[in-house]
Structure 1
Amino acid sequence: MPNIRELDPSASPLDYFGSELRRQREAAGLRQGQLGDVIFCTGSLIGQIETAHKVPTRDFAERVDAALMTDGAFSRLVGLVLRSQLPSWFQQYAEMEAKATYISTYQAQLVYGLLQTEEYARAVLGVRDDGDLDAKVAARLERQRILARDEPPVAWVVLDEAVLHRRIGSREVMRNQLARLLELPRDGWTQVQVLPFEVGQHHGLPGSFTILRSDDDPDLVYTEDFVQGHMTANPAKLKEGFLRYDHLKAAALSVEASAKLIARLMEERYGHQSGPDSRAVA
């Protein structure tokens, strides 16, 4: 029997999505299994989403819109649903990131979230098993949509060379992630520089940080600790952030030299090899 749990549509974006999916499905005269057949999923998945037990993906929302002829309603709603899956302390940053016209970031440990492949993100987010991993990954991929807009932000990313050496997931996951970085500079909007080990001490030693600039909001500098993120528009903090970032860009390899280093490490460290070490994570 299908789950007929009643939802409060005002409780959350996920609850609203589920209640609207049920309403539109029933208005079309379809059972859960019938809709599942149309959009190539199980009726059980339809039921889980209708009862807010499962987070929909953007692909699911787009297929539902096509099947129920809802004029993109679910595709528009799913962005809110996925953003609500981000940690509560991170949601304000994600909103500001989406409005930014210029993103400057230095990353000491990991590839910046907007540039991560799905498999790399899954490996990073799966370190702690404290929730729906599929939903976390979908939320991270949803953030990346800002780079595909007609007028995307300029994103300038400085990666510590350690990021390229630290294997996240399998060798194949890392190879695909570095290949993704090599594809990015071609569009002109997103640039990657690598801060090489040979630099020694540098202005990014205190840790990763991101500066956001937008046309309609104050400039912001964002940092994280192991508990939560910290965002400020304090002029003194911004001045310090811009100074540190300028030093890091100047010390880093050029975009062209960075691409050559990434390509070399991709082959030397993560080239195709036989054996159990080459298996990809699920």
Structure 2
Amino acid sequence: MSKKTDFYQNLEPYLVCKDYTVSHEEYQVMFNKEFDMLVTIPVPKNISDYYKSEDYISHTDSKKSLFDKVYQAIKNITLKRKLKLINSFNTKSKKVLDVGAGTGDFLKVCKTNSWEIFGSEPDSGARNIAAKKGVNLEKDLSKLQNQQFDVITLWHVLEHVENLQEYITTLKSLLTENGRLIIAVPNFKSYDAIKYKEFWAAFDVPRHLWHFSKTSISKLFSYENMKVEKILPMKFDAYYVALLSEKYKYKKSKPFSAFINGFKSNFKAKSTKEYSSLIYVLKKQ
């Protein structure tokens, strides 16, 4: 981006959301009209403490609760789809970087399919679990700065990044000239987001600092001379997010209602293209 952008300027009230995972504190979710994006305020100084929960499933391989089992079952299906996506790119070498790699399952699948794997994950517990799977992860991107990758993936990671503008600049620098950047994020314009409002699980404040639309992703990356090549749906997310949202709203599990609303979200998105979560494939212009 040509100049420093303050995403916290000229904000309009949108919603007040609660942290249902760790603190039960309330946070403002504000609308940034310029970028068609929502912003969580305030950002806690000790943000890492808000990930310290057994309920934060991307940092564990837990299969204890209904939500855990659904998450793990969906994960196994989506891993195959993610691999198929990166295999569709015509790359000179096969170097993949997974940012926010969690417990390393995606990179493990890539490794068994002839990709040279690299990854970062700030959570030490998740890194330790990944290491036991033969996937060694860096704490952050600093040790990878002198390399370039054919594919860089961020599966539900960009919404967590504190220094958004600088991070996008870094991601571009790590990408080969003909490489692909894959960004998967929740979509606050989806039917399930609009239906559940402050109870929508994908707001996940304060861990999710930003809440993106198709417009905001295109605009943010266009400032770095990158363009969206294609947008793909993550249809399973509607069901999982609805399952959690029902629990937050009614304080008990309502799997039937969640299934109906997840189905409605995907059905309506057939025409609107506003799925619960979206995958953006980006490249340098």
Alignment TM class, shorter chain as reference: under 0.3
Q: Computing the radius of gyration over CA atoms, which structure comes out larger, 1 or 2?
A: 1
TM-score by length of 1: 0.25
TM-score by length of 2: 0.25
